């Protein structure tokens, strides 16, 4: 398969790319890294990416920033960070990308454990992750030509544990390589409309 991985240089993206490259032709992309440059917050940039790479068999998003901060100090502008970047960035990739997928292709997005397991400072992240999960459940019902879509919802990565452990008391970190197996399942398997949890 020819697989587009956006965010391939990140902690998650590196693990996903290493897994998929064993069996597939991976085209990597990021704002400042990868085979191609793309900014998922920019509609024209996403169109330009697909014009450059042509049709693909799978689209993977391993990107997304959200705002972490106390609710009492949170502004709408703060909240909009996650809406524009992690949520609409990935949704934009799916909306445009569906028209550049071969029959039987797939889209795999990244959500996260906070959708169902809130932490302090995490209102934006919980909301955005739940929205991504909702999007894939509904989008799967409408995608034509055997195209599938799933979200991968992981706990904190072992690789990020030192930075995040104080915020995730009592959570069990997971190796990014284990999360990558869920991406493999989404890309190479048969499920659609699923939130694959790696908690």
Ligand X SMILES: NC(=O)c1ccc[n+]([C@@H]2O[C@H](COP(=O)([O-])OP(=O)(O)OC[C@H]3O[C@@H](n4cnc5c(N)ncnc54)[C@H](OP(=O)(O)O)[C@@H]3O)[C@@H](O)[C@H]2O)c1
Residues found near ligand X in the complex (CB under 6 A): 6-13, 30-33, 38-41, 62-64, 85-86, 89, 110, 112, 154, 156-157, 160, 164
- Give the residue at shortest CB distance from ligand X: 10
CB 135 within 8 A of CB 177: no
Distance in Å, CB of 104 to ligand X, minimum: 26
Tokens of 134: 């909702």
Looking from the CA of 52 toward its CB, the CA atoms found within 13 Å total: 14
Output 17 or 106, the one with its CB closest to ligand X. 17
Output 38 or 149, the one with its CB closest to ligand X. 38
Alpha carbon distance, N-terminus to C-terminus of the chain: 28
Distance in Å, CB of 128 to ligand X, minimum: 8
Output 87 or 147, the one with its CB closest to ligand X. 87
Distance in Å, CB of 163 to ligand X, minimum: 8
Residue 145: its H or E element: none
Strand segments (E) across 38-86? 56-61
């Amino acid at each position: 398969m020819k697989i587009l991985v956006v965010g391939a240089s990140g902690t998650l993206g590196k693990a996903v790319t290493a897994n998929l490259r064993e069996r597939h032709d991976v085209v990597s992309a990021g704002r400042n890294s990868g085979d191609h440059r793309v900014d998922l917050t920019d509609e024209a940039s996403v169109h330009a990416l697909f014009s450059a790479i042509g049709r693909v068999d799978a689209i993977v998003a391993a990107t997304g920033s959200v705002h972490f901060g106390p609710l009492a100090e949170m502004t709408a502008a703060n909240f909009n960070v996650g809406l524009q970047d992690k949520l609409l960035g990935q949704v934009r990739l799916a909306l445009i990308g569906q028209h550049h997928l071969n029959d039987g292709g797939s889209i795999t997005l990244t959500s996260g454990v906070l959708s169902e397991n809130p932490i302090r400072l995490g209102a934006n992240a919980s909301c955005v992750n739940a929205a991504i999960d909702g999007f894939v459940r509904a989008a799967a019902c409408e995608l034509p030509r055997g195209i599938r879509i799933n979200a991968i919802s992981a706990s904190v990565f072992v690789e990020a544990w030192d930075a995040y452990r104080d915020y995730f008391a009592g959570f069990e970190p997971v190796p990014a390589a284990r999360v990558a197996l869920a991406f493999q399942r989404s890309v190479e398997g048969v499920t659609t409309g699923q939130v694959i949890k790696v908690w």
